[in-house]
Amino acid sequence: MTATRVTVRGTPRTLPHAYLAPGEGVLSLTRRHPVALASTFVAWFGVVMVAFAIGLSYNGATEQTELSCEAAAIILSATLFLGWRIWRWKTARFILTDRRLLFVEGIISRRINGLPLKNVLDTTYRQSIAGRLFGYANISLNLSGQAGLRTLTRLSRPEALYRCILSLTAVRDVMERNWPDVPMPLRDLINL
C-alpha cells in the first residue's frame, strides 16, 4: 500500500493512499483531545484503589505488607484495559480533505467513515468552559438528506478544523450558484 507523507504540527505522518480518492488533498489531520480519555483514567484509578484496599494485607510473621494474587490480577487487567483504550485513542484520526471528512479508527481491523462535504449544510461549534480551559470542542454537522446531526466530539485544535470546514462549504456554495448578473471580471475572481 502506498502512502502520503503529511506534516501535522511539525511532525511528519504517513497516510495511506487507500483512504483518499484520486486528486484528493489532505487539509487537516487531528484526533480527539486527550480529555476524551478522562473517564477511562477515572475508572482505572477507582479499580486500582479498590483492588489495593481489598487486596493489601499485613503479614505478621514476615512483618510485610502483601498484595493478594486476585488484587494483582485485577490491577493488571485494569491496566491492560487502560493501555488498550489509549492505543485506540492514539490510532483514531479525523482527516479533512478538500472533498470529505474521514474518521479512521481501529487497531486490528480498520474502519473508515467518510462524510462528503457537499452534504454539509450547516456547522455548529460548541465549546464548554472546560473545553475553553483545556482546548477542546464539539463540532456538529447538519447534513442534507439525512436526519439529525453528526457530532465530532472532544476535538483537539477545533478552531482550525471548524474554519477549514466553513471555508470549504462557503467556497462550494459560491461556486454552485449561478451568477448571471455579476460582471465577467468579478465572476472570474469568484471562481478562483
Q: Which of 81, 86, 114, 80 is nearest to 100 (CA)?
A: 114
Residue 184's pLDDT is what? 46
Q: Both 123 and 146 in a single domain? A: yes
Same domain, 46 and 138: no
Cα dihedral 106, 85, 3, 96 sign: positive
- Cell output for 99: 472533498
* Contact criterion met (CB below 8 Å) for 48 and 27: no
Judgement on whether residues 123 and 151 belong to the same structural domain of the protein? yes
Task: Write out the residue range of the structural domain in which residue 83 sits.
Answer: 38-87
Q: What is the number of domains present in the chain? A: 2
pLDDT reported for residue 61: 81
User: Is 11 buried (19+), middle (13-18) or exposed (0-12) by CB count in 10 A?
Assistant: exposed
The Cα–Cα gap between 155 and 65 comes to 44
**109 and 172 both lie in a single domain:** yes
Assess whether 136 and 164 both reside in one domain.
yes
81 lies in the same domain as 125:
no
- Nearest CA among 162, 73, 180, 165 for reference residue 115: 165
| Residue 18 sits in the same domain as residue 96 | yes
Amino acid present at 116: P
Contacts 24+ apart (CB under 8 A), 168-175: 168/27, 168/96, 168/98, 168/117, 169/117, 169/120, 169/123, 172/117, 172/118
- What's the pLDDT at 172? 62
pTM given for the model: 0.74
H or E stretch covering 8: strand 3-8
Q: Say if residue 114 is in the same domain as residue 82.
A: no
Q: Are residues 110 and 65 in the same domain?
A: no
For residue 9, what is the domain's CATH number? 2.30.29.30
First to last CA, the chain: 34
Looking at residue 185, its pLDDT comes to 45
Within this chain, do residues 149 and 97 fall inside the same structural domain, yes or no?
A: yes
Distance CA 12, CA 16 (A): 13
CA distances from 6 to 3, 9, 156 (A): 10, 10, 17
Residues 96 and 126 in one domain: yes
**pLDDT the model gives residue 189:** 42
Residue 145: predicted pLDDT? 73
pLDDT at 74: 96
pLDDT in tens, the chain (192 residues): 445 555 545 445 556 567 888 888 888 888 999 999 999 999 999 999 999 999 988 777 887 888 999 999 999 999 999 999 999 999 999 999 989 999 999 888 889 988 888 888 889 999 999 999 999 999 999 888 776 668 999 999 899 899 999 888 877 665 555 545 544 443 444 444
Predicted local distance difference test score (pLDDT) of residue 42: 98
Same-domain pairing of 42 and 132: no
Last residue of a domain, one of 87, 106, 127: 87
Domain limit, last residue, from 87, 104, 119: 87
The domain boundary, picked from 21, 54, 87, lies at 87
